[in-house]
């Protein structure tokens, strides 16, 4: 047992498997599939019709549809991942996890792993909607470049979600943070309009969120850029995602200590 | 009288819950406010009527966000706190308990919607010159009541599922799209128009635009009072449907012993 919990890889894997099993023990698979197929559709439709109404020459339907298709990963990578600590708290299992000798980082990263698969499936379905329902032209698309963009963005955004999740150790609920960042992405990540539209003081925030690089890379891949053409942007995105994971770990250690000192672990 | 007392007690109880943890207002405000900002930035050099679309739509979205979260969470919270069985076992029918909660949420929804309007006007300096302020206010409040009636239907459905939270998140944008909160429903595919017109808030937002704008060219042909009448009629249908659903849900949940499944 002691050998098992001191092995971070095994803890990570068992945490990932447990998270997947727990999700389907709680959530009806039919409901999961419904969510997978519908969550991106209406958000994309909303902004596509809005762009049609606004008739802004710089913001085409394709611009908005591709941006929203990729951004749909945020429902999973921000919302679901950010709520990991909050849900443990609500279910009364957080204290047991924190008193166990198992590596926290492995546990929480493992918890998020199924959401990477979930997130990629959500984005792929959203791109299908962009093609079939909103007539986005994919004839020039480099699909390898697009697939790598989806992969890197999902990993990077999951890292970002984990960073936010660490706040749930201290706050009464991480749901509020999840909501703020879920929708903030629509504003600051170049999903619906170029970042240059934002006031200058907001633009640095854009470049601290991996999604900003992802939307740019996805649009380039859709218009024909090869993998080597977007490698630079994807590298920066991966680095930002990695930094988010490291910052998240530091925050997790810090907030755990504060929560222990203040006795706020069970406060929700 | 006992029903009125239960309604009032539930209203008061919901108010205390809100004051104990007012941070829950944030999720209700954040989505409509950010979407309104996105829209105003998207409309860059456009002024006048189109910009008011965004601001009015933001107000309506604020009300719907509040109603939806309140509907979804009022049942889910009872599940988590272990109080749902007690609520159902009480001699007062569940509809009066939910009714009291809905009334409180309606009140907060009005404030939420107005707050979004004020923030949008203050931050983006959009001149909100209302053509008929009193008619606008009437349409604003009645639209919220229609949203509350729609929320009651979802509340009933949420009793039967453990996935109320998932459904709550998924139902935000469909109503924004279906009601044409930020754009005319004429832009939607023709086949979807009957669905949009079956939503009471579609008529409500149209009435709000009739009251606010001097030259409203995209409006439905029914005009302000026609919109209000149809909205009232559909809302009554929603209310009747919600009461009927709650009676069914009450029976089914007792039979299946599924209430406490958090």
In whole angstroms, give the CA distance from residue A31 to residue A17: 20
Among B38, B161, B167, select the one facing A186 at the smallest CB separation.
Answer: B38
Residues 69-108 of A with CB under 8 A from B: 75, 79, 90
Whether A114 has a pLDDT exceeding 90, the answer reads: no
A35 and B50: CB-CB below 8 Å? no
Classify burial at B206, counting beta carbons within 10 Å of its beta carbon; exposed 0-12, middle 13-18, buried 19 or more: buried
pLDDT mean across residues, chain B: 82
pLDDT at A194 (0 to 100): 92
pLDDT at A255 (0 to 100): 85
Q: Which two tokens stand for residue A219?
A: 């649009």
Look at B228 and A179; give whichever has higher pLDDT. B228
pTM recorded for the entire structure = 0.86
In whole angstroms, give the CA distance from residue A48 to residue A264: 44
Does A183 lie at the interface with B, CB-CB under 8 angstroms?
yes
3-state SS assignment for residue B52:
helix
Name the DSSP class of B190.
G
Whether B119 has a pLDDT exceeding 80, the answer reads: no
A53 and B41: CB-CB below 8 Å? no
Q: What residue ranges do the domains of chain B occupy?
A: 2-256
A173 and B23: CB-CB below 8 Å? yes
Contacts of A122 (CB under 8 A, 6+ apart): A36, A39, A40, A72, A73, A75, A76
Question: pLDDT per residue over A18-34, tens digit each?
Answer: 888 887 877 778 878 88
Name the DSSP class of B127.
-
Q: Which two tokens stand for residue A224?
A: 């024909």
H/E element, B230: helix B223-256
CA A19, chain centre distance (Å):
17
- A109-113, A176-180, B197-201, B253-257: which has the minimum mean pLDDT? B253-257
DSSP assignment of chain A, as one string? -HHHHT-HHHHHHHHHHHHHHHHHHHS-HHHHHHHHHHHHHHHHHHHHHHHHHHT-TTS-HHHHHHHHHHHTHHIIIIIIHHHHHHHHHHTT-HHHHHHSSS-HHHHHHHHHHHHHHHHHHHHHHHHHHHHHTS----TT--HHHHHHHHHHHHHHHHHHHHHHHGGGGTSS-SHHHHHHHHHHHHHHSSSSS-GGGS-GGGHHHHTTSHHHHHHHHHHHHHTT--HHHHHHHHHHHHHHHHHHHHHHHHHHHHHHHHHHHHT-TT--
pLDDT at B165 (0 to 100): 65
Confidence of residue B38 (pLDDT cuts 50, 70, 90): confident
User: Looking at CA atoms only, how far is residue B194 from chain A in angstroms?
Assistant: 17
pLDDT at A239 (0 to 100): 95
Torsions phi, psi of B162, nearest 5? -85, -10
Least Cα distance to B101 among B163, B63, B155, B62 occurs for B155
Among B24, B46, B173, select the one facing A43 at the smallest CB separation.
Answer: B173
pLDDT at B48 (0 to 100): 64
Among A28, A42, A56, select the one facing B44 at the smallest CB separation.
Answer: A56
CA B227, chain centre distance (Å):
17
Give the mutation candidate from A179, A191, A197 for the B interface (greatest B CB count, under 10 A): A179
Question: pLDDT per residue over B79-110, tens digit each?
Answer: 777 888 888 888 888 888 888 888 887 787 77
Least Cα distance to B106 among B141, B75, B61 occurs for B141
Contacts of A143 (CB under 8 A, 6+ apart): A221
Least Cα distance to B55 among B120, B131, B9, B124 occurs for B120
Q: Give the best-scoring range by mean pLDDT among A245-259, B61-75, B224-238.
A: B224-238
Whether B262 has a pLDDT exceeding 70, the answer reads: no
pLDDT at B46 (0 to 100): 62
pLDDT at B96 (0 to 100): 85
Whether B195 has a pLDDT exceeding 70, the answer reads: yes
The contact set of B with A (CB < 8 A) is 21, 23-24, 26-27, 30-31, 34-35, 37-39, 41-44, 46, 50, 53, 80, 161-163, 166-167, 169-170, 173-174, 176-177, 182-184, 187-188
Whether A97 has a pLDDT exceeding 60, the answer reads: yes
Least Cα distance to B170 among A115, A31, A216 occurs for A31
For the segment A202-231, the average pLDDT, to the nearest whole number, is: 94
pLDDT at A149 (0 to 100): 96
Look at B221 and B123; give whichever has higher pLDDT. B221
Whether B37 has a pLDDT exceeding 60, the answer reads: yes
Q: Which two tokens stand for residue A193?
A: 């309009």
Q: Confirm if A151 and A55 have CB atoms less than 8 A apart.
A: no
Whether A98 has a pLDDT exceeding 90, the answer reads: no
Does A118 lie at the interface with B, CB-CB under 8 angstroms?
no
pLDDT at A235 (0 to 100): 96
Sign, CA torsion A237/A238/A244/A246:
negative
pLDDT at A3 (0 to 100): 59
Look at B52 and A137; give whichever has higher pLDDT. A137
Name the DSSP class of B22.
G
Look at A84 and A229; give whichever has higher pLDDT. A229
Contacts of B125 in chain A (CB under 8 A): none
Whether A81 has a pLDDT exceeding 90, the answer reads: no
pLDDT at B164 (0 to 100): 64
For the segment A231-239, the average pLDDT, to the nearest whole number, is: 95
A42 and B173: CB-CB below 8 Å? yes
Look at B209 and B117; give whichever has higher pLDDT. B209
A180 and B26: CB-CB below 8 Å? yes
For the segment B112-138, the average pLDDT, to the nearest whole number, is: 79
B42 and A42: CB-CB below 8 Å? no
A45 and B173: CB-CB below 8 Å? yes
B38 and A192: CB-CB below 8 Å? yes
User: Looking at CA atoms only, how far is residue A220 from chain B in angstroms?
Assistant: 21
Q: Which two tokens stand for residue B81?
A: 């706190």
Whether B261 has a pLDDT exceeding 70, the answer reads: no
Look at A119 and B58; give whichever has higher pLDDT. A119
Whether B148 has a pLDDT exceeding 70, the answer reads: yes
Look at B51 and B232; give whichever has higher pLDDT. B232
Range A164-181 burial, b when 16+ CB lie within 10 A, else e? bbbbbbbbebbbbbbbbb
Q: What percent of chain A has pLDDT over 70?
A: 97
Confidence of residue B203 (pLDDT cuts 50, 70, 90): very high
- A171-180, B9-18, B221-230: which has the minimum mean pLDDT? A171-180
Look at A205 and B157; give whichever has higher pLDDT. A205
pLDDT at B233 (0 to 100): 97
Look at B29 and A164; give whichever has higher pLDDT. A164
- A257-261, B87-91, B217-221, B258-262: which has the minimum mean pLDDT? B258-262
């Amino acid at each position: 047992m002691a050998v098992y919990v001191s092995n971070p890889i095994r803890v990570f894997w068992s945490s990932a498997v447990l998270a997947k099993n727990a999700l389907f023990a709680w959530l009806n698979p039919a409901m999961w599939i419904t969510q997978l197929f519908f969550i991106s559709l209406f958000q994309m439709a909303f902004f596509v019709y809005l762009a049609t109404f606004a008739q802004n020459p710089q913001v085409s339907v394709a611009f908005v549809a591709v941006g929203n298709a990729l951004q749909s990963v945020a429902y999973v990578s921000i919302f679901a991942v950010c709520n990991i600590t909050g849900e443990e708290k609500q279910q009364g299992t957080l204290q047991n996890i924190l008193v166990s000798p198992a590596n926290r980082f492995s546990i929480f990263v493992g918890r998020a792993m199924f959401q990477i698969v979930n997130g990629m499936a959500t984005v792929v379905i959203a791109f299908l909607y962009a093609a079939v329902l909103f007539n986005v032209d994919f004839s020039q698309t480099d699909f390898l470049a697009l697939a790598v963009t989806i992969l890197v963005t999902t990993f990077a955004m999951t890292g970002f979600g984990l960073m936010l999740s660490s706040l749930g150790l201290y706050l009464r609920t991480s749901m509020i943070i999840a909501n703020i960042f879920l929708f903030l992405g629509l504003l600051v990540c170049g999903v619906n309009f170029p970042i240059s539209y934002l006031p200058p003081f907001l633009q640095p925030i854009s470049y601290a969120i991996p999604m900003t690089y992802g939307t740019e890379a996805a649009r380039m891949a859709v218009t024909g850029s090869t993998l080597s053409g977007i490698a630079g942007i994807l590298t920066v995105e991966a680095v930002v995602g990695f930094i988010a994971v490291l910052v998240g770990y530091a925050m997790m250690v810090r907030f755990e200590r504060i929560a222990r000192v203040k006795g706020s672990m069970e406060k929700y | 009288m006992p029903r009125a007392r239960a309604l009032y007690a539930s209203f008061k109880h919901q108010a205390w819950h809100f004051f104990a943890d007012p941070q829950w207002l944030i999720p209700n405000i954040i989505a409509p406010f950010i979407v309104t900002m996105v829209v105003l930035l998207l409309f860059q050099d456009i002024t006048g009527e189109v910009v008011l679309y965004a601001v009015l739509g933001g107000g309506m979205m604020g009300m719907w966000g509040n109603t939806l979260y309140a509907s979804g969470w009022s049942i889910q919270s009872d599940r988590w706190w272990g109080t749902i069985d007690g609520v159902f076992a009480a001699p007062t029918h569940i509809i009066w308990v939910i009714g009291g909660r809905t009334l409180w949420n309606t009140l907060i929804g009005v404030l939420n919607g107005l707050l979004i309007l004020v923030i949008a006007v203050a931050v983006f300096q959009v001149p909100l010159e209302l053509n008929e302020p009193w008619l606008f206010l009437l349409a604003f409040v009645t639209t919220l009541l229609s949203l509350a009636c729609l929320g009651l239907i979802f509340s009933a459905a949420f009793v039967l599922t453990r996935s109320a939270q998932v459904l709550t998140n998924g139902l935000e944008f469909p109503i924004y799209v279906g009601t044409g909160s930020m754009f005319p429903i004429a832009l939607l595919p023709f086949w979807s128009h009957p669905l949009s017109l079956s939503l009471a808030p579609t008529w409500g937002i149209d009435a709000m635009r009739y009251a606010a704008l001097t030259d409203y060219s995209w409006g439905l042909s029914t005009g302000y009072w026609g919109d209000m009448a149809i909205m009232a009629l559909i809302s009554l249908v929603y209310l009747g449907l919600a009461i009927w659903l709650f009676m069914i849900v009450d029976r089914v949940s007792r039979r299946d012993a599924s209430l406490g499944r958090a």
